[in-house]
Structure 1
């Protein structure tokens, strides 16, 4: 599974390709098994003191409700737009931008956007109780209820399974059969400025790698099933998560035996 990341503000833009080989160039590469990350420098962000947050309360997951999608859309408007808070009718303009992003998110994640096999909105959230009154603007804009408690979306990205992202650099790896399901792109990567330096961006990208691995595994399983294989067993899901890789499956196929010809 290959990735291309775009829209990573106040940090570095990261391109991730499913190619385990380094190219020996002088550019800065960080190699990990079956992935290569290339960092393209952008303007450095100003120093922001990280608040004291109980990191065990972070939840990194795919969005499952429209309320959470709306909160994610609001965070993106807040992150990607330099808006003057004292400008005339600014709140109406923010809502207009959020509504546009919300409708686009719903279209993509529901599978209605042409050219996308599937899209997942992956969010980092915190309980509202974890955020002090100094986070009032973030909480009011990006709060939602998960049915149990009020939470706040503090980081977000889109994981897109497609051949290429519109208006972006088109990837070329991996090549060959199955590239439609073997390539994924990250986009709209953002973290609330109040939560910088809490590892939120890393958590989002790590989750997206695991989801993409599951997608890749599902597509490969479908290919085998269509070829006549049957699933016999699978390794425990906890073991795959612990080893940070897709769950392994044991498939089997009965082959016809050739009759022994008598002389």
Structure 2
């Protein structure tokens, strides 16, 4: 694992830390809003559902919206995207029930973090990138949308976490001194729908997260990246992150095993 970081500058720069490589950078501004309930999946999204082709879709960037999730419906949609992005599934009996279980588990954990009830986490915001249902040519049945007013599909998501460190991951080295823990934040669960890759959604998400972090008073933003994940490393470097440190291979394997066991719903 490696960690990336940015040196202090008079203007904002993003920070990143990764599960293998750690990156650090500096942020810029927006505010989070309280979570309020809305239905989990919209009828429009369900009605429009159909299988995606293998081709990457080109989007109208003027219709892309990136904002802090402010409803349970948005958190549920983010959880759906994370399960389809972070897991591989083979067709089998009961697979849909298993996907539902994983999504509900991520949803409950995400709610805990965002509402400040998760031990070890301070302030957490889920940031989503969305597109109107009407402007997406095909919707997979495992992508959800539930928004007030206009139905929008979550096509990218990440978490911005202010905490001493993420469980079993490297603690960023910057800043130092009294109050340093409150001036440091981490990105996690960064993903973009595979059909929407190469549209700049990841870059837009990271840029927005830096603005939110700056509004929190964060000076150094981190992300952990697997050493062999070149596309992710390129994204973060383009976003202003710099390499900070590596996690030893043995520790990276242990962290990965713990993460996989935890995601499978087993006791750790």
SS of structure 1 residue aligned to 2:154: strand
For residues 217 and 171 of structure 1, what CA distance do their matches in structure 2 show? 13
Superposed CA RMSD in Å reads 2.5
C-alpha spacing 1:175/1:142, structure 2 compared with 1 (3 Å)? same
Pair 1:81 & 2:82 matched: no
C-alpha spacing 1:125/1:189, structure 2 compared with 1 (3 Å)? same
Deviations 1:70-97 (A, max 9, x none): 010010000000111x212110000000
> 2:56: which partner in 1?
50
1:136-151 to 2 correspondences below 5 Å: 136-137=139-140, 140-151=141-152
Runs of 4+ in 1 over 6 A off after TM superposition: 36-41
Task: Report the TM-score, using the length of structure 2 for normalisation.
Answer: 0.63
C-alpha spacing 1:215/1:14, structure 2 compared with 1 (3 Å)? farther
SS of structure 2 residue aligned to 1:136: coil
Deviations 1:80-130 (A, max 9, x none): 00111x212110000000000000000000011122220000010000011
For residues 53 and 20 of structure 1, what CA distance do their matches in structure 2 show? 35
> 1:130: which partner in 2?
135
Pair 1:91 & 2:96 matched: yes
Deviations 1:189-240 (A, max 9, x none): 000000000000000100010000000179xxxxxxxxxxxxxxxxxxxxxx
Higher relative contact order (CA 8 A, sep 6+): 2
C-alpha spacing 1:14/1:68, structure 2 compared with 1 (3 Å)? farther
SS of structure 1 residue aligned to 2:158: strand
Pair 1:17 & 2:23 matched: no
SS of structure 1 residue aligned to 2:165: coil
For residues 15 and 116 of structure 2, what CA distance do their matches in structure 1 show? 28
Higher fraction of strand? 1
Task: Report the TM-score, using the length of structure 1 for normalisation.
Answer: 0.64
Larger radius of gyration: 1
Please, which runs of 5 or more residues in structure 2 have no aligned partner? 22-53, 220-268
In the alignment of these two chains, the number of paired residues is 185
> 2:165: which partner in 1?
164
SS of structure 2 residue aligned to 1:149: coil
SS of structure 2 residue aligned to 1:201: helix
1:184-195 to 2 correspondences below 5 Å: 184-195=185-196
Pair 1:216 & 2:222 matched: no
